[in-house]
Amino acid sequence: MSTTVPLEFTVPTGWVQVAADTVGAPEGSAVLLDAATRGSGFTTNITVGGEEEPAGRRPADVADDVLRDLEAAATDVVTDGRDVLEDPDGREGLVQQVRLTAEIDGARYRLVQSQVFRPLPGAVLRIVLTATEDRFPVLIKDFEAFVGTVRQRR
């Protein structure tokens, strides 16, 4: 079940925030599109969302679920790495990088995702950059800077 977590963040230069329903993202998500790739067949994006989680579910459990979902929807899904991440509030989260091949509108794309999972009270926040292999190295610094600005509004 999706939960709406009030968030605040800074949109990086060169990115445009759009309504989640216009790009098929889950309700309550925040979606940013890379202006340089809009209209190019695949648009690099950052998606922020969260889901309620039963007590005891860790970010690693949610990350495992995300991998299973990707394996069901894409091909050549490979995890490049997974590391523990301490969030600004001192809670232990997780970051992982995944490579995959996806078919979008009849075209095949080699994509890379950087996935960040941060625990919140009763939920796990997901922040995901999805980019083509050639754009990923160019945009990972934007993503890392963006992740540093995401805060739960109090």
pLDDT at res. 23: 85
> What pLDDT tens digit does each residue of the chain (154 aa) get?
345 677 889 999 999 999 888 888 877 789 999 999 887 688 999 999 887 777 778 899 999 999 999 999 898 999 998 999 887 677 889 999 999 999 988 899 999 999 999 988 888 899 999 999 999 999 999 999 999 999 887 7
pLDDT at res. 40: 67
Spell out the domain ranges in the chain: 7-152
pLDDT at res. 4: 64
pLDDT at res. 139: 95
Q: What DSSP string describes 83-143?
A: EEEE-TTS-EEEEEEEEEEEEETTEEEEEEEEEEEEEETTEEEEEEEEEETTTHHHHHHHH
pLDDT at res. 117: 94
pLDDT at res. 9: 93
pLDDT at res. 2: 47
State the virtual CA torsion across 144, 120, 52, 145 in degrees, nearest 10: -10
Architecture of domain 7-152: 3-Layer(aba) Sandwich (3.40)
pTM: 0.90
